[in-house]
Amino acid sequence: NAGVTQTPKFRVLKTGQSMTLLCAQDMNHEYMYWYRQDPGMGLRLIHYSVGEGTTAKGEVPDGYNVSRLKKQNFLLGLESAAPSQTSVYFCASSTSRERVAWQPQHFGDGTRLSIL
């Protein structure tokens, strides 16, 4: 049981380039999330999805787009990468079963992205 898998694990981009980060979960979870983690800042929510075909903005959505075409996958896109987007990106998922507010989030191991 892989849980939450993120690809790639590392990537270096030049300013202005685009790329897509992939998150896949095999737990049949309804909810999926994208966070970024910067030194001393904790995790900040970028976008999230409550189900296939639906997405919503989080705390820091600017410069990112997302898509949830399949229940198990959640894609994060950078259309024109900027140095300020250098960060570690984490994907998480959680179930929407009864009492969703009490459900923990399950995290992948992150994608380390550097924008030069």
Partner 1 sequence: SQQGEEDPQALSIQEGENATMNCSYKTSINNLQWYRQNSGRGLVHLILIRSNEREKHSGRLRVTLDTSKKSSSLLITASRAADTASYFCATLRSGSARQLTFGSGTQLTVLP
Q: Given the rule CB under 8 A, which residues bind partner 1?
A: 4, 31, 35, 40-45, 48, 50, 58-59, 90, 92, 100-102, 104-110
Question: Cβ closer to partner 1: 66 or 110?
Answer: 110
> Please, what is the Cα angle at 67 between 62 and 73, to 5 degrees?
125
In the chain, the DSSP E strands lie at 4-7, 10-13, 19-25, 31-38, 42-51, 54-57, 64-67, 73-78, 87-94, 106-107, 111-115
- Write down the least CB distance from residue 37 to partner 1, Å: 9
- Write down the least CB distance from residue 11 to partner 1, Å: 16
- Write down the least CB distance from residue 62 to partner 1, Å: 15
